[in-house]
Every structure is written in structure tokens, then in C-alpha cells.
Amino acid sequence: MTTTVAGVGVGVRDLVTRNVRQSGIFVAFIAIVALFSVLNSDFLSPGNLTNIVLQYSYVLILATGMLMVIVLGQIDLSVGSVVALTGAVAAEVVIKGHAPWYVGVLSALVVGFLVGCWQGFWVASVGIPGFIVTLAGMLLFRGLTYIVLNNISLSPFNGTYYGIANGFLNGLFGGYGIDTFTVVIFAIAVVGYAVSQWRTRRGRIAYQQVVESMPLFVAKIVVVAAVVMWFGSQLARSRGLPIVLILLAVLIIAYSIVMQKSVFGRHIYAIGGNLNAAQLSGVKVRKVTFWTFVNMGVLASVAGVVFSARTNGAQPGAGNMFELDAIAACFIGGASTTGGVGRVTGAMVGGLIMAVLANGMQLMGVGQAVQQVVKGIVLLLAVAFDIWNRRRAEATR
């Protein structure tokens, strides 16, 4: 009997500490948004919100794949170079080769896939740590980018390819000064969110797990719905629904499902949590490791396409330091530095914190130098908070 009570007690405490961690990120995010909206009246304007989405989408795309790599207990330092290489290949095909836009996209994806296979092979089959393999990859693929581009930039893409990162879906259902289609899409998203939260809650109750009280639960849903609908209406007031945002939403939902509901995702968590246990239990560690790196390569090529479309060309130096933004997004979003812990949604919030920080400081005319200092300190504090939090949880156990 006492064991049961103790067990539940730990569960409650665990829930509280985990929520402190999670809500900690959200509170930080909201605080930053509030700060910048006070400091600068343009910050929450429709135009600027649209800008944030367009400007940082590729980091968020990278962070999705990076989160999986980090949960696996690995790291990928090469993604910035892969963004450059895949963008360069697409530019060669579309701009120089005059091929249609989708051929460019496809070639970029194929290159990303091959890059992933290459790195996955060295990590999974040869057993070299991902840190080393992808450090080599960072140099290797940057060099290849220079070779592919012959040391010069290529532009412009224009047309449909350009539209991937700069296009909007609007006017489908008309509207007066505000795009109805965008609003409808956001309304569907809000309803979906509410339903899934409700189902999770009922599941937790069925397992006698702790849930927030009903009024609190409803309040949470209402607040989230209000914020999301407001964000949607701001976009609708500007240029409508960015295509990139749709792509991003699809990726986030798909990869959340992969990580939480699929066998593959479960095995990634198991390998990162206890490699030995995973091996002894018959998890195919090599196979899972290999495909996680392949996935990262493909997502890096998606980011490469989006980035080259956004900049309307390919530059040898494109994507420099993107890997650091993506890695920082994961750790700020609660991923553990030792693997096994982290969520796609957490990495997204982490990425948004970085995005909002950068954008807000830009609006205020803060220079690159100070921006880097601030980003570095935020990353350090986020991880320090995480470690402090975990120590406290262990001490109270």
C-alpha cells in the first residue's frame, strides 16, 4: 500500500517538475514576445509576423530532424553545409539547366538523401561518433558546394521555385481585407488541437493520472485558441497563408506522430535512453541510427530548397551556422544533452524563441554582435535551468 502511495507521489512531483520545465519555455517565450511588443509597436504587426515565419522556417525544419538525432544520443553538425549543397544543386539544375522547378526540388531531395546515407553509414555501420562524422561532413559538403557553384553565387530562380518560400495561399474563399481561407484553416487547426487535448485528458483520467482541473483545462484551450486565431487573422490581414507555414505544419504534425506513435520513434527514444538495453531487447540499433541520419539529410535538403527559394538563389556560404541554431532550438526546447528526452513541439518552441529574439532585436536595430551574445546566453541559461531542474527532481525522489 505504501509503495502505491509513494509511487503516485513521485508521479505527481514528476508531473509538476516536467510542467515547470515545459511551461518554463512557454513563459519565457511569452515574456520575450511581450517585451518586444512593448519595445516596438511594429513587432506584432501582420507584416512582421509573416516575416518571422518566412525568415526562420528553415531553422524549424532543421530542428525537427535535429531533435530526432539528439534524442538518439547523436548530433549533426553538417546540416548548414547540406542546406548550401542542396540549394546549390537545385540552382544548377533550375537556373543553369533550365529544368522545371520540381526537377530542382527532386534533385535537392536526392542529394539530401545520399548525404544522409553517407553519414548514416559511417555512424551506424562503422561506429564512428556522429559528432566526428558530421564535423567531417560540415567541411566536406561545404567544399562540395563551392565546387558545384564554381565559387560564385547563382540567381535568380523566380517562378514557382521562388514561390515555395515566398508564396501565399489566399483569396480561395474571398473576403474583405482579410483572407477567409487563412482564417478557416486556422479554425480547423484550433478545433483539432482542442479535440486532441480533450482525448489526451480523458486518457489520463482513465489511468488515474493527474490532470488539471476542468476550469483550468478550458481556460488553457481558450487562451491557446485565442492566440492562434489572433495570429491567423494577423496573417490573413497581411498576405494570407504562407506556403512555408503549411509545409512546416505538415512536418511538425507528421514528425510528432513519428516520435510519439510509431515503432521507429519509440526505438529512437530507447536507443538514446539506454543503448545497452535497446540492444539487449532486440532493437535494431544500426538500422534506426542509419535511417535517423538519412531523415536528417532529407530534411536538411527540404530546408535547403526553402532557403534557396527564399533568397532566390544559391550562395557558396549559404546556411552557415544553421546547425547551431537548430541544435540550440532543441536544447532550449527541453531536449536532454545525453539523449532519450525531447519533443518535436519543444524544439519548435525553442526555435521560435530564437526566431523572435533575432527578429525583435533586428527591428530595434541591435547589431549582429549583440544578437549573438544574447542567443548564446539564452542557450546557456536554458540548459542550466534544465540541469538544475533535473537535479532537484532527483534530490526530492
Q: Where on the chain is the footprint of another protein (CB under 8 A)?
A: 3-4, 6-8, 10-11, 14, 207-209, 261-264, 266, 269-270, 272-274, 276-284, 340-341, 397
Q: Shortest CA distance to 381 belongs to which of 76, 49, 32?
A: 32
Q: Kindly state the cell numbers that stand for 110.
A: 536526392
How many CB atoms neighbour CB 9 within 10 A? 12
As a whole number of angstroms, the distance between CA 353 and CA 177 comes to: 30
Q: Which CB, 233 or 279, lies closer to another protein?
A: 279
Q: Which CB, 118 or 291, lies closer to another protein?
A: 291
DSSP-assigned letters across all residues of 293-345: HHHHHHHHHHHHHHHHHHHTSB-TTTTTTHHHHHHHHHHHTT--TTSS---HH
Q: Which CB, 271 or 356, lies closer to another protein?
A: 271
Q: Which CB, 4 or 41, lies closer to another protein?
A: 4
Q: Which CB, 102 or 388, lies closer to another protein?
A: 388
Least gap, CB of 396 to another protein (angstroms): 11
Least gap, CB of 6 to another protein (angstroms): 8
Q: Which CB, 10 or 377, lies closer to another protein?
A: 10
Q: Shortest CA distance to 119 belongs to which of 137, 107, 99?
A: 137
Least gap, CB of 338 to another protein (angstroms): 10
Q: Output b/e per residue, 14-29; b: 16+ Cβ within 10 A.
A: eeebeeebbeebeebb
Least gap, CB of 110 to another protein (angstroms): 24
Residues 6+ apart with CB under 8 A from 58: 83, 303, 304, 306, 307, 310, 322
Least gap, CB of 191 to another protein (angstroms): 23
As a whole number of angstroms, the distance between CA 41 and CA 62 comes to: 30
Phi, psi of 241 (to 5 degrees): -85, 115
Least gap, CB of 190 to another protein (angstroms): 25
Q: Which CB, 51 or 279, lies closer to another protein?
A: 279
Least gap, CB of 282 to another protein (angstroms): 4
Q: Which residues pair with 168 in a beta bridge?
A: 242
As a whole number of angstroms, the distance between CA 41 and CA 165 comes to: 26
Q: Which CB, 96 or 397, lies closer to another protein?
A: 397
Least gap, CB of 21 to another protein (angstroms): 14
Half-sphere exposure of 320 (CA within 13 A, CB side): 7
Least gap, CB of 30 to another protein (angstroms): 28
Q: Which CB, 264 or 385, lies closer to another protein?
A: 264
- SS3 call for 241: strand
As a whole number of angstroms, the distance between CA 392 and CA 397 comes to: 9
Contact (Cβ atoms closer than 8 angstroms) between residue 207 and residue 183: no
